[in-house]
Amino acid sequence: MDSGLAALLGAAVGSATTLGAAIVNSRAQARSHHAQWSRQHRRDAYARYLSALHDRDIAMDAVLAALRPDQPDLRDVDEKTDRFITLAREVHRAVEVVILEGPASVADIAERITVASGDLSHVMRRLAVNAHAGDTTRKAEDFTLAAERERTLYQAVKDFRLAARSTIGTAD
């Protein structure tokens, strides 16, 4: 084989190797960018959800506080309940994005939050209905149940935060 042909073959092999390495590096970089993009979307979805939960929970606390007196101001209770309902809708919108962004483990915990929130909301609604009816027979029992359900909800939210942090790779 003459030296010209050997040099040409050497250049071809070198070029092919360089091209192959560039393709591999390009794919690795694309995967890295996609993973970063995905983490950012999840982080945004999780943050919106937690923010909506926070706002809704403050509204629920306001409703429960308005129901505490022996003779609550029913107009105030109704206004605060309307605010709570509006914010609960925002939570439902935000959780849909969390479910879409995944993963399933985080969506499952969000479902636990939904169930715990619903359980607490049922107690709040019963307190409001009874306040409108002037019925105080179960009021103390319902407030005890509400406190228990708030603790369950809080634990589910804590679990969600931990799972979300793990999913998006946030260090402690």
Q: What pTM was computed for the model?
A: 0.80
What confidence score (pLDDT) does residue 116 get? 96
- Residue in this structure with the two tokens 């939960």, named with its chain if needed: 53
DSSP state of 1: -
Three-class SS string for 34-74? HHHHHHHHHHHHHHHHHHHHHHHHHHHHHHHHHHCCCCCCH
- The answer on pLDDT for 169 being more than 80 is yes
The per-residue pLDDT for range 23-45, each reduced to its tens digit, is 666 665 656 665 676 788 899 99
pLDDT tens digits, one per residue of 60-85: 999 999 999 999 999 999 999 999 99
Q: Looking at this protein, which amino acid is placed at residue 26?
A: S
User: How is residue 171 annotated by DSSP?
Assistant: -
Model confidence pLDDT, tens digit, residues 93-102 = 999 999 998 8
Dump pLDDT digits (tens) for 110-164.
999 999 999 999 999 999 999 999 999 999 999 999 999 999 999 999 999 999 9
Q: What is the pLDDT of residue 45?
A: 94
* Residue-level pLDDT at 28: 59
pLDDT score for 46 = 95
Q: What pLDDT shows up at residue 39?
A: 83
pLDDT digits (tens, 9 = 90+) for 2-15: 777 777 677 776 67
Select the CATH number that applies to the domain covering 39-168 from these four: 1.20.1420, 3.40.720, 1.20.58, 3.40.1620: 1.20.1420
